[in-house]
A and B are shown apart, each in its own frame.
Chain A
Amino acid sequence: MTTEWVNPLRDPEDRRMPRIAGPSGMVLFGVTGDLARKKVMPAIYDLANRGLLPPGFSLVGYARRDWADQDFAQIVHDSVRAHARTEFREEVWRQLSEGLRFVQGDFSDDAAFDKLRRTIEELDEARGTGGNHAFYLSIPPKFFGDVIGQLKEHGLADPAAGSWRRVVVEKPFGHDLASARELNAVIDNVFPPESVFRIDHYLGKETVQNILAMRFANNLFEPIWNANYVDHVQITMAEDIGIGGRAGYYDGIGAARDVIQNHLIQLMALVAMEEPVSFDAESLRIEKQKILSSVVLPRRLDLNTARGQYAAGWAGGEKVDGYLDEEDISNTSTTETFAAIRIDVETRRWAGVPFYLRTGKRLGRRVTEVAVVFKRAPHLPFTETSTEDLSNNVVVFRIQPDEGITMRFGSKVPGTAMEIRDVNMDFAYGGSFTEASPEAYERLILDVLLGDPPLFPQQKEVELSWKILDPILEHWAKQDASGKSGVEQYESGQWGPESAHAMLARDGRVWRRP
């Protein structure tokens, strides 16, 4: 292949034509996991259904189970049937199922990795995958070292000339700065940075691009997007469910590590960053890193953080257990299921504008949003009684569910009396642009196969986020060690512990009910 060759059928003007991934395959570690079955496999089917996978695409499952190829195919079939976004079509399934293989083994099994190599070679031969393979590690981080070491040892990580090998890892990326660095060293040792794709499954590329479009494609918001007009920003990710069966993963991790470190801090960066010089991944990363490195924590962490555990009670019409009653959770656990923190951004744009981040399980409803709360008008030429129902203007990025934008502003109540009240104006992406924004996983898997530099965080950002969070985690650990734990019980189905409300009240603010 010469580099001069240009495909005559491609034209940059031809925006109708979707990009189909080149010949390639994927190896999925941890096929029995929840994410693999609920997200990864359906996303692969959806991609195939939309005609975006190459003919001959192959999926190899790797797990300890004693399965034949057909058993694995059955698992994929069931998961696709249950969770795919698009309609099930027999011919798409036929295309996909011919490329399914299964390799049995655990992560230290040399013979199994040898078999994996032979399977991949056989696929290159029989299906034309061309030596291009992505390794998707849908497994706990403690096994990353083993798997990546094995991949290296068995020559699976080294692409032949003209082909590629890539690796996909899911969050959490470590549990503090030190472990994140360790983890990175393991991966970095084997795969070059551009071949490593970190996925934050909460934050789809579509969402990132929506926020960027809204901020930088319009002239309406940017002039007021600063400390002159913005009072504060609230970033919330609330779940209505408990930890479910994930006790083993969750206990000892907690809400801050699970959600704030990656998801909320990423959202904060997107909302607060300066305009990138262009929209390529590199420029975006530079801006995000700048804003992350300008974050400072309040001096009194005890007054500006809050954490809690959900208590038994009623949520959404169902009787639910408290965190400490969940299976496999010790009744002395201090793992938080709710965390709220205040951070400040020391830049000219944001000085004096606190960012409040909160996340929790078993809260009022499932919602993720970024609310930019504006200052009140400096002067209101109305009587006090007529503006009693008027609060601050708000612009809300609704991330999920029903992705879109809400604006909240004052409007006159119809009638002869002068009465001004807050009203909401909702714009729904879901309604207005696409039937269903392609799931984060579809975009990511396609990016991996196409080799598009991802918008997902690279190591530097991961480390910067840990730098923000580490002092808070240490503070909490110190509290626990001194025996006066700051973990407060909060009522299931409500909006978090009293300390979280008190934390904002001290600043003269209140949490939105999202």
Chain B
Amino acid sequence: MIELTATNSAGIAAELVRARKKAGSPAMGMVMTLVIVVDEDQAHDAMESAREASQEHPARVLGVILGDARGHSVVNAQVGTGAGWSGETALIRLKGEVVRHCDSVVLPLLLPDSPVAVWWPTDAPQDPAADPLGSLAQRRITDAAAATRAKTKAIHHQCATYAKGNTDLAWTRITPWRALLAAALDQYPEKVLRASVTAERISPSAELLVAWLNDRLKVQVVRKNSDGPGITEVVLTTRSGDISIDRPDGKLAAFISPGQPDRPVALKRRTVPELLAEELRRLDEDDVYAATARRLVKLETKK
């Protein structure tokens, strides 16, 4: 890692080229730019997650730490390649007036033509698509479950301001649940009469699962509380009985269905790098998430 102090975008770009040459590999196989907007104390973990995700999606990763917006502008950066990264990385610290114009720092550093994803590992802007950095990106990834402020409402805000390209890791987390529930209905091609989702009290993923089931099945979906971790049980009630997936420990679930023996099925809670890698696999609009987000907002206003 090379430290650059009191620099600018051109300085960072030049250092990226120099670092690439020094690594002995002038060719670039990078497929996107990933911008991470993060606080100083979360920066290390977030960059580590991005490093793991970059194994699957070689990217130029730009960590942006927004400091205090008062006073004299300073741009400092740490630039590097290699060491477990399958791309390039720069961690950029902004202070002073430039914080309000952070997009001017990032824009010249985007890879030509390739897609841009921006990720807020903890607190996201109310409307990511309107955010200066968010508006540079095709993919805007938030994580309602990691919000430190207004936790219970975070997913509602995200759904209310949904725009094409937005997504939330709370949604990514329930992909295996959704796949398993869909597979369960493949086996019991019957009308679902009602459903329930049990999860810990604050669980954006559970809210999304309720909205998704409600949107797809057009039946009432009851939300129940448990001690977690995460989502612990989903029940689909059909005329022949309850199909349920019960996961008390966050790892191994039991698949219980009418007239069949209970079967264990591995359903592990995934790590952030895995979620991020899934998220970066598709950069077009996620229509199903869009519909689910709309439904969640509707359900909320009905309450």
Binding site for B on A (CB under 8 A): 1-2, 5, 7-11, 13-20, 22-23, 48-49, 51, 54-56, 89, 91-92, 94-95, 98, 126-128, 130, 425-428, 431-435
Beta-carbon contact of B56 and A22 below 8 Å: no
- Take A55-B265, A431-B29, A435-B56 as given contacts and tell me if A16 and B183 are in contact as well, using a CB distance cutoff of 8 Å: no
Q: Which of A16, A20, A127 contacts B288 (CB 8 A)?
A: A16
B92 close to chain A: CB less than 8 A: no
CA distance A19 to B218 in the complex (A): 23
Closest to B252 in A: A91
Q: Which of A11, A17, A128 contacts B179 (CB 8 A)?
A: A17
Least CB distance from A377 to B in Å reads 24
B189 close to chain A: CB less than 8 A: yes
B278 close to chain A: CB less than 8 A: yes
- Take A48-B266, A55-B263, A55-B264 as given contacts and tell me if A9 and B185 are in contact as well, using a CB distance cutoff of 8 Å: yes
- Take A16-B175, A427-B29 as given contacts and tell me if A9 and B282 are in contact as well, using a CB distance cutoff of 8 Å: no
B55 close to chain A: CB less than 8 A: yes
Report B59-101 CB contacts with A as 1/0, cut-off 8 Å: 0000000000000000000000000001000000000000000
- Take A7-B182, A7-B186 as given contacts and tell me if A95 and B31 are in contact as well, using a CB distance cutoff of 8 Å: no
Q: Which of B29, B56, B255, B266 contacts A89 (CB 8 A)?
A: B266
Beta-carbon contact of A432 and B29 below 8 Å: yes
Beta-carbon contact of B288 and A55 below 8 Å: no
Beta-carbon contact of B282 and A15 below 8 Å: yes
Beta-carbon contact of A434 and B56 below 8 Å: yes
Interface residue ranges of B10-54 to A (CB < 8 Å): 27, 29-31
- Would you give 30 A-B contacts (Cβ < 8 Å), ordered by A? A7-B186, A8-B216, A9-B185, A9-B217, A10-B182, A11-B216, A11-B288, A16-B175, A16-B278, A20-B180, A20-B182, A49-B266, A55-B264, A55-B265, A56-B255, A56-B260, A89-B266, A89-B268, A91-B264, A92-B266, A94-B252, A95-B263, A95-B265, A95-B266, A431-B86, A432-B30, A432-B57, A432-B58, A433-B57, A435-B277
Contacts between the two chains (Cβ within 8 Å), count:
115
Binding site for A on B (CB under 8 A): 27, 29-31, 55-58, 86, 172, 175-176, 178-183, 185-187, 189, 192, 213, 216-218, 251-252, 255, 257, 260-261, 263-268, 277-278, 282, 286-288
List the B side residues contacting A1 at CB < 8 Å.
Answer: 189
List the B side residues contacting A89 at CB < 8 Å.
Answer: 266, 268
- Take A95-B264, A126-B261 as given contacts and tell me if A9 and B187 are in contact as well, using a CB distance cutoff of 8 Å: no
CA distance A428 to B257 in the complex (A): 45
List the A side residues contacting B183 at CB < 8 Å.
Answer: 20, 22, 54
Q: Can you add 5 more A-B contacts, CB < 8 Å, to A16-B172, A98-B263?
A: A7-B182, A17-B179, A20-B180, A128-B187, A433-B31
List the B side residues contacting A14 at CB < 8 Å.
Answer: 178, 287-288
Beta-carbon contact of A8 and B217 below 8 Å: yes
- Take A7-B185, A89-B268 as given contacts and tell me if A426 and B27 are in contact as well, using a CB distance cutoff of 8 Å: yes
List the A side residues contacting B252 at CB < 8 Å.
Answer: 91, 94-95
Q: Which of B187, B251, B267 contacts A22 (CB 8 A)?
A: B187
List the B side residues contacting A15 at CB < 8 Å.
Answer: 282
Closest to B190 in A: A5
Least CB distance from A408 to B in Å reads 13
List the A side residues contacting B55 at CB < 8 Å.
Answer: 435
List the B side residues contacting A13 at CB < 8 Å.
Answer: 287-288
List the A side residues contacting B192 at CB < 8 Å.
Answer: 8
List the B side residues contacting A95 at CB < 8 Å.
Answer: 252, 263-266
Closest to A99 in B: B263
Closest to A427 in B: B29
- Take A9-B216, A22-B187 as given contacts and tell me if A51 and B266 are in contact as well, using a CB distance cutoff of 8 Å: yes
Closest to A7 in B: B185
CA distance A10 to B187 in the complex (A): 13
CA distance A117 to B213 in the complex (A): 40
CA distance A262 to B213 in the complex (A): 47
Closest to B217 in A: A8
Closest to B255 in A: A55
List the A side residues contacting B29 at CB < 8 Å.
Answer: 426-428, 431-432
CA distance A182 to B82 in the complex (A): 56
List the B side residues contacting A425 at CB < 8 Å.
Answer: 27
Closest to B172 in A: A16
List the A side residues contacting B175 at CB < 8 Å.
Answer: 16-18
Beta-carbon contact of B186 and A51 below 8 Å: no
CA distance A130 to B188 in the complex (A): 12
List the B side residues contacting A2 at CB < 8 Å.
Answer: 189
List the A side residues contacting B267 at CB < 8 Å.
Answer: 51
Closest to A20 in B: B183
CA distance A51 to B182 in the complex (A): 13
CA distance A285 to B179 in the complex (A): 31
Least CB distance from A513 to B in Å reads 20
Least CB distance from B295 to A in Å reads 13
List the B side residues contacting A55 at CB < 8 Å.
Answer: 180, 255, 263-265
List the A side residues contacting B286 at CB < 8 Å.
Answer: 16
Beta-carbon contact of A9 and B181 below 8 Å: yes
Least CB distance from A370 to B in Å reads 20
- Take A8-B185, A20-B180, A55-B255 as given contacts and tell me if A91 and B282 are in contact as well, using a CB distance cutoff of 8 Å: no
List the B side residues contacting A22 at CB < 8 Å.
Answer: 183, 186-187
Closest to A13 in B: B287
Beta-carbon contact of B182 and A9 below 8 Å: yes
CA distance A428 to B263 in the complex (A): 40
CA distance A14 to B215 in the complex (A): 14
Least CB distance from A201 to B in Å reads 24
Closest to B87 in A: A431
Closest to B254 in A: A55
Closest to A23 in B: B187
List the B side residues contacting A19 at CB < 8 Å.
Answer: 179
Q: Which of B186, B268, B277, B278 contacts A91 (CB 8 A)?
A: B268
CA distance A128 to B189 in the complex (A): 15
- Take A8-B185, A425-B27 as given contacts and tell me if A127 and B263 are in contact as well, using a CB distance cutoff of 8 Å: yes
Beta-carbon contact of B268 and A128 below 8 Å: no
CA distance A56 to B266 in the complex (A): 11
CA distance A9 to B30 in the complex (A): 35
